[in-house]
Chain A
């Protein structure tokens, strides 16, 4: 049972602190000497998921479980949920409001980016039920 589990609350609409949980996770992984490429991928995925929670979701929690062979990242919120998760996973699909587009978001690249950078991804969501994105990164797989 050699695992390290950490949870970070993330607030919907809080752009000031958005991304801090992922930065914390990134720095933890760095001091645990994981390979830079893995650290970068986990950080990118965590950031995208955090931003989705902040923009589209509701209040929630980022959980990371760190083990020698794999890293598991879960970002869950109690927001409005996603109507069609398959559609949401497609590149370019976005429901982001104009004000967010002006901030540089809303390209519809977040979920596809998470898929590309993780080894396994599950999006568990339905309207009114909130959203949970779980990603798994295997250590050693893509790392030298």
Chain B
């Protein structure tokens, strides 16, 4: 089964037997990582940032996220579900605790809510901004490290902005670090005995290929499970839980195990990261096109007067993730209602967080080797000579980005031709005008 899916070890894979070559995903890919060749999709993994647009667009089911399924639980000795509030938003009207109980019935030994760790992240972030505001030394604006798609976008297309990435560990990494430590102590076992499963709204992990661990986690980090992959089964269990009077929570001895908060729920939505924080000069942006446009402007030296920018690749934020199960606006309304119910406000012991902060506990190792370091500009690079030929070919085609050639637009097609990955013959416009490859080549070399 997996063999027809080429591209394992990346965020998504493609089943070419299901692909009908429609080019819709090609046109929808923000990094131009897809082409159709010989009627089938071709995925250029090095350009993929895992945004999941192709998953949303494909109507034949040929695209699949690199996630782990529930059967994997059987292999783990101590399994932990790392739960984001986005999961709760998929069940309007259901209490978070019933969803966590449902997860236990699916076979997880522990369920850990992320709200607590959002708060830790937020405290550390406020501290960092405050400290740097006083001495005026941070490279403003700081860019939120939370959205992994944005991180890869910066790494591959905007490496010059890497110094702007806020150096605090992502909440999920803080969570993994804490949970591993506490549970291994509780059970008296090696950390390797604990398997964590991040219930994910987006195709954020490069499969479970041990050769490509997510650098923001210790020991390779959790496995990724898509919300939509477990949704039907979980919904059944949740239904069951709710039909009973009460199933007591077992193992609820950890303070964070079931402490959902209004502030935590805010995080699923645009602006949630900053609305509850004490950073005045901040902005939040969502949607991949808007995010790219914002990064372009920051790279132009704009927004120096802003301290913190929250960027989310998905429209409306994480509730709009490609692996969510219900409509993002329904999910948003569910979040809003639940926030009303739970209220907002911080609960953590600030002094404790500040002590951890002083010990540099929160700082990610991203600047270290193997972390998020510049790979240079990962877009294709050309010589001036080649660029002139590309400009010439685009002019000659004078097309309308029809994508019939299998590239998303005429310029990308021209780049492919110059690189030798496509032939001038693939262009319908040139063919319709009766131009031969030799004639096209001659024109370009003029």
> Which residues of chain A have a CB within 8 Å of any CB of chain B?
2-4, 6, 19, 22-23, 26-28, 30-33, 36, 39-40, 43-44, 47, 66-68
A-B contact pairs, 9 of them (CB 8 A): A19-B297, A28-B387, A30-B379, A31-B382, A33-B377, A40-B160, A40-B300, A47-B300, A66-B384
Q: Which of B160, B382, B385 meets A2, CB within 8 Å?
A: B385
Assess whether B377 is in contact with A43, with CB atoms less than 8 Å apart: no
Assess whether B300 is in contact with A32, with CB atoms less than 8 Å apart: no
Interface residues in B362-389 by Cβ distance below 8 A to A read 377, 379-385, 387-388
- Classify chain B: how many residues form its interface, as a range: 10 to 19
Among the interface residues B159, B380, B384, which one has the most CB atoms of the partner chain A within 10 A? B384
Q: In the bound complex, how far is the Cα of B389 from the Cα of A4, in angstroms?
A: 10
The 4 closest A-B pairs by CB, nearest first: A36-B160, A33-B381, A44-B301, A43-B300
Residues on the A chain within 8 Å of B384, using CB: 2-4, 32, 66-68
Beyond A31-B380, A33-B381, A68-B384, whether A4 also contacts B300 by CB under 8 A is no
Q: In the bound complex, how far is the Cα of B391 from the Cα of A3, in angstroms?
A: 12
B131 is an interface residue with CB less than 8 A from chain A: no
Assess whether A43 is in contact with B301, with CB atoms less than 8 Å apart: yes
Residues on the A chain within 8 Å of B20, using CB: none
B296 is an interface residue with CB less than 8 A from chain A: yes
Q: Which of A23, A32, A36, A67 meets B382, CB within 8 Å?
A: A32
Beyond A4-B391, A30-B377, A31-B377, whether A40 also contacts B299 by CB under 8 A is yes
Residues on the B chain within 8 Å of A30, using CB: 377, 379
Assess whether B300 is in contact with A26, with CB atoms less than 8 Å apart: yes
Among the interface residues A2, A4, A6, which one has the most CB atoms of the partner chain B within 10 A? A4
Tell me the number of A-to-B contacts counted with CB atoms below 8 Å.
53
Distance in angstroms from B280 CB to nearest chain A CB is: 16
Residues on the A chain within 8 Å of B159, using CB: 36
Residues on the B chain within 8 Å of A32, using CB: 381-384, 387
Residues on the B chain within 8 Å of A2, using CB: 384-385
Interface residues in B271-329 by Cβ distance below 8 A to A read 296-297, 299-302
Assess whether B382 is in contact with A26, with CB atoms less than 8 Å apart: no
Q: In the bound complex, how far is the Cα of B217 from the Cα of A1, in angstroms?
A: 51
Q: In the bound complex, how far is the Cα of B346 from the Cα of A107, in angstroms?
A: 40
Distance in angstroms from B332 CB to nearest chain A CB is: 28
Closest chain A residue to B388, Cβ basis:
A4
Beyond A4-B388, A4-B391, A6-B391, whether A31 also contacts B381 by CB under 8 A is yes
Assess whether B299 is in contact with A43, with CB atoms less than 8 Å apart: yes
Q: In the bound complex, how far is the Cα of B282 from the Cα of A24, in angstroms?
A: 27
Assess whether B300 is in contact with A19, with CB atoms less than 8 Å apart: yes
Assess whether B381 is in contact with A22, with CB atoms less than 8 Å apart: no
Known: A26-B299, A31-B377, A44-B301. 18 other contacts (CB 8 A): A2-B385, A23-B296, A26-B296, A30-B377, A31-B382, A31-B387, A32-B381, A32-B382, A33-B377, A39-B160, A40-B160, A40-B301, A43-B300, A43-B301, A44-B300, A47-B301, A47-B302, A67-B384
Q: In the bound complex, how far is the Cα of B395 from the Cα of A6, in angstroms?
A: 12
Distance in angstroms from B389 CB to nearest chain A CB is: 10
Beyond A4-B391, A36-B160, A40-B160, whether A31 also contacts B379 by CB under 8 A is yes
Residues on the A chain within 8 Å of B381, using CB: 31-33
Q: In the bound complex, how far is the Cα of B380 from the Cα of A31, in angstroms?
A: 6
Assess whether B300 is in contact with A22, with CB atoms less than 8 Å apart: yes
Residues on the A chain within 8 Å of B383, using CB: 32
Closest chain B residue to A33, Cβ basis:
B381
Distance in angstroms from B94 CB to nearest chain A CB is: 43
Closest chain B residue to A67, Cβ basis:
B384
Distance in angstroms from A7 CB to nearest chain B CB is: 11
Residues on the A chain within 8 Å of B388, using CB: 4
Distance in angstroms from A57 CB to nearest chain B CB is: 19
Closest chain A residue to B161, Cβ basis:
A36
Among the interface residues B159, B299, B380, B381, which one has the most CB atoms of the partner chain A within 10 A? B299
Closest chain A residue to B374, Cβ basis:
A36
Residues on the B chain within 8 Å of A67, using CB: 384
Residues on the A chain within 8 Å of B299, using CB: 26, 40, 43
Residues on the A chain within 8 Å of B387, using CB: 4, 28, 31-32, 66
Distance in angstroms from A114 CB to nearest chain B CB is: 12
Q: In the bound complex, how far is the Cα of B297 from the Cα of A43, in angstroms?
A: 10
Closest chain A residue to B159, Cβ basis:
A36
